[in-house]
Amino acid sequence: MESYLPGFEPPPREDFRDPLTVAHVLVDVDLAHLDHPLDYAVPPELDSAVTVGCTVRVALAGTRQRGWVVGRETVPQHRALSPIQSVVSRTPVLNESTLTLARYIAHKHLATTSQVLSLAIPARHARSEKNVLAAHRDCAAPSPISMDTEFLSWYEGDPTAPGRIVWQVVPHDWIRQLATVVAIRSARAPVIVVAATREQVDRIAAQIALIVGTDCVETVGSDDSAAHRFAVHLRALAGELTILVGTRSAVWTPVKDLGAIIVWDDGDDRLTEERSPRASALDVAIARAHLEGVDLLSASLARSVKSHMLVNSSWAVPLTPLRHALREHAPRVRVLDDFDAAREGPSAGNIPTSVQRFIRESAQSGHVLIQVPRRGYVPVIACAQCHRTARCQRCHGPLAMRGDRQIVCQWCQWDASAFTCPHCAAHAVRARQIGSERTAEELARALPGLPLVVSSADHRIDTLRPTDSRIVVATPGAEPTLDGGYEAAVILDADTTAARPELWAYEEAMRRWFGALSRVAPAHPAIVVGLSDPTLGQALVRWDPVRVAADQLAERRSVGFFPFTTIVALDGPAPDVHAIVASLSDAELLGTVPIEQAPTRRAADSAQLSLAMPEHEPDQHIRTLVRTPISHTNTLLDQLTQVRQHRSAHKLAPVRMEVNPPELF
C-alpha cells in the first residue's frame, strides 16, 4: 500500500487490542441521576478479588466512595475507564435477590438503590468476616424438643400452612403460639421473624429455643455490635441460618432458601424506617413474598389497616379465632359509658370512684395493670382562662408540667415557668392531659397502703415478679411482663389516643389497648375509662379488631386515601414544588401548607390543607400533597423519578419526595 505522503509509511493498524475487564459498580451516593451501575476497569492485580457482590472503593468526582459490584464482563479496550481502587470485602455481601428487592423498594418509595442497600447490608467488619469463613458450618432443619399444638384448634384455619396469611392471635400466651408456628415452619425451610423491640425479639427467641434448642436460633437488632450484624449477614448468605429473630432491619437479611417471613404487630410505628426510603417491615416482607415467592405471615393481636387491605384484596387469607377460644382466653372487658359517668356524678374524673374500688378489690388477689396514654406528670397543659393549648414562645412546641411543677417545652426544653398566654394574657395553666406520674400520685392518695410502681419509656420495667408491687401504672408498650397474667387491667383516658385527628388514631388506639389487655389472665376483668366511641367499645367487649379495621378501610376508600390511592408529599421551596406539580400529568393536587405547619411525626395537631395552589414567598418552603389512583401509581412514580434525576443532575434545590408518608397514614 502506497503512502498518501511520499516517504511516509502509515502506521500498522491495531485491529486487535487486549480485552478489558469491566466491573459494573453501584456507587453508594444518594444522587438520583447516578442511580445506576457505573463502569470501572478491573486492574489485573485485583482480577481474582473483584467478584459480583463484593464491596469495592472507587473514585467518583474526585472523592473515594464505597460501591457494590453488580456485574462484570470482558469487552474490547475501546475507551479509558477509571480503575477500581481497592476491594473492601472479598466475600460477596450482595446477591441478585437483594439487588432486585432494593431496586423494587427504591422505585416504590422514590429513593435510590444505594439508599436501600445501605439499610439492607450492614457495614463490613473484617474480624467477623474472617471468623465466619473459618467456622463455616451447615445448619440442618431443627427437630422440635417439645411442642404443644393444642392452640391450633382455636382458629378457623392453620397458621402453619403455606401461603400468605393475616393472623389475629388469641391473646393468651401469644408468644408460645408464635414460637410453635415458627418451629413447625422451620422444619420445612428457614424463617425470619420480625418484631418492633429488642424485648420482644429476646422473648420470642427464648420461647423458640425452648422448642427447638438454641443452636438454630439467631437474633439480630440495631443495638447489636457491628461485628455481630455483619456476621449474621454473612451466615445468612452462606446458608447457616434456620431461624432468625430480629428488629426491623432483619427483614432484609438474605437468608438462603428462605421459606417464610413472619412480622409481629405490623402496626407498630417502630417497624418503619426513620430514613429514606421509610419502608415498613411489612412493606419489605410483602415485596419479598412477591419477588422471591416466600410465605408471609402478618401476626398481631389487633388488625392494622394495611394488613386488612391484604385480606380485602384477596392477596392474603385471614386467620381469626373461633368464638369459644376468645370466650375462654380473652379478658372480659367492660367500657364505662355515659350512664356510668352520670351515676358517678362529680367523682367521675380521671379515675372514677367505682374504678378505684375495682382496683382495690382486684389488688387483694393479684396484680393490676393500669395503662395511661402519656408519660410524665402533666404532658399537655392549657391556659386556665381561655383553655387554648399552651405553647413555647421560642419554638411553638407544646408545654408540659413536670413533677416539681416546673413548666418546660417538650421540644426545646426551654423553661416557661413565667407563662403568659398570647391570646388572653392570663398566667395560670390547667392540665389538659394527665401523665403516668400524676396518675400514680393520685392512685397513691386514693389507695394508701398498696405498693405501686410506674413503668414508662423513661423508666422501663421489663418483668414483674409475684412479690413486686401490686399496682402497675404503665404507658403503651412499657407494660411489664407477668407470668400467668394480671388479675385485672384498667385503661384510662382512652379518648386521648382515639380522638386524635389523624387517620391512624383508631388503628393505633386498638393496637395499644389490645396489647395491654392481652397481659390480663384469661377470662379476668378489665375496664376501659374515657372512651366515647361506641364502635370501639363494642370491638373491645367482643374482642373484634377486624371490624374496626374494616370500617377504617371503608372510610379511606370513601375519601380516596391510601391504600386505595397513592399520595406523594413534596417538600421544598415553593417555586420548585409548584413547577413539579404543574409537570405531572396523572396527579391530583390534594393540598398545600407552609412547611412549618406541615404534619410531622411530633406535631400535636393536623394542619389544614388548602385545596388550591396558593401564592407563597419565593424563599418559603411548602409541603404539597398530590394523589393518583392505584392503577396510575407507576406512571406517577416514573414521572417523579425523572424529575429527581433531572434536578440532581443540574444541582437544583432539593425537593424531598415521600410516598404515602407514614405520619399521615
201 burial type by CB count under 10 A (0-12 exposed, 13-18 middle, 19+ buried): buried
Whose cell is 502506521? That residue is: 11
* Whether pLDDT at 249 is above 80: yes
Which whole number is the average pLDDT over 329-354? 77
Of 585, 597, 601, 592, the closest CA to residue 569 belongs to: 592
**Is the same domain home to 473 and 621?**
no
Tell me the C-alpha distance between 375 and 22, whole Å: 58
- Among residues 289, 309, 325, the one where a domain terminates is 325
- Among residues 308, 325, 342, the one where a domain terminates is 325
CB 68 within 8 Å of CB 117: yes
**Is the same domain home to 317 and 335?**
no
CB 25 within 8 Å of CB 37: yes
- Is residue 14 in a domain? no
Give pLDDT, residue 338. 66
In whole angstroms, how large is the CA radius of gyration of the chain? 29
- Is residue 205 in a domain? yes
**Is the same domain home to 626 and 639?**
yes
**Is the same domain home to 442 and 508?**
yes
Which of the pair, 77 or 473, is modelled with greater confidence?
473
CB 413 within 8 Å of CB 398: no
Helices H, strands E: what count in the chain? 18, 28
- Say if strands 525-528 and 332-335 run parallel, antiparallel, or are unpaired: parallel
370: cell is 393500669
- Is residue 7 in a domain? no
177: cell is 403460639
Give pLDDT, residue 15. 47
- Is residue 502 in a domain? yes
- Among residues 48, 70, 95, the one where a domain terminates is 95
**Is the same domain home to 321 and 365?**
no
* Whether pLDDT at 475 is above 50: yes
Question: What is the overall mean pLDDT for the chain?
Answer: 88
**Is the same domain home to 510 and 495?**
yes
**Total count of domains within the chain:** 4
What band does 349 get if pLDDT is binned at 50, 70 and 90? low
Give pLDDT, residue 134. 81
- Is residue 549 in a domain? yes
260 - beta bridge partners? 191, 295
Which of the pair, 365 or 136, is modelled with greater confidence?
365
Which whole number is the average pLDDT over 624-630? 95
* Whether pLDDT at 86 is above 90: yes
- Rounded to two decimals, the pTM is 0.87
Tell me the C-alpha distance between 335 and 350, whole Å: 14
- Is residue 531 in a domain? yes
**Is the same domain home to 592 and 578?**
yes
CB 472 within 8 Å of CB 462: no
Give pLDDT, residue 449. 84
Which whole number is the average pLDDT over 121-130? 90
For residue range 50-80, list pLDDT tens digits in order: 999 999 999 998 899 999 999 999 988 767 8
**Is the same domain home to 429 and 550?**
yes
Give pLDDT, residue 599. 43
Give pLDDT, residue 10. 61
- Is residue 119 in a domain? no
What band does 605 get if pLDDT is binned at 50, 70 and 90? very low
For residue range 295-307, list pLDDT tens digits in order: 999 999 999 999 9
- The CATH number linked to 279 is 3.40.50.300
- The CATH number linked to 86 is 3.40.1440
Which whole number is the average pLDDT over 226-232? 96
Give me the count of residues in the chain: 665
For residue range 396-410, list pLDDT tens digits in order: 778 887 766 788 887
Which whole number is the average pLDDT over 34-62? 95
Residues of the chain above pLDDT 70, percent: 89
For residue range 271-328, list pLDDT tens digits in order: 999 989 999 999 999 999 999 999 999 999 999 999 999 999 999 999 999 999 999 9
What band does 644 get if pLDDT is binned at 50, 70 and 90? very high
Tell me the C-alpha distance between 433 and 381, whole Å: 7
**Is the same domain home to 545 and 425?**
yes
Tell me the C-alpha distance between 72 and 661, whole Å: 38
- Is residue 11 in a domain? no
CB 56 within 8 Å of CB 86: yes
Structural domain including 583 reads: 565-596+616-664
- The CATH number linked to 620 is 3.30.70.260
For residue range 173-198, list pLDDT tens digits in order: 999 999 999 999 999 999 999 999 99
Tell me the C-alpha distance between 170 and 159, whole Å: 12
Give pLDDT, residue 607. 35
CB 179 within 8 Å of CB 210: yes
**Is the same domain home to 342 and 479?**
yes
**Is the same domain home to 52 and 189?**
no
- Say if strands 488-491 and 368-371 run parallel, antiparallel, or are unpaired: parallel
Helix 226-237 × helix 126-134 angle, to 10°: 40
Which CA distances in Å does 437 have to 299, 303, 362?
A: 33, 30, 21
Tell me the C-alpha distance between 530 and 355, whole Å: 12
What band does 415 get if pLDDT is binned at 50, 70 and 90? confident
Type and span of the H or E element at 463? strand 463-464
Residue 359's SS3 state is helix
Which whole number is the average pLDDT over 85-114? 96
For residue range 95-108, list pLDDT tens digits in order: 999 999 999 999 99
**Is the same domain home to 208 and 232?**
yes
Of 604, 595, 602, 606, the closest CA to residue 569 belongs to: 595
543: cell is 374482642
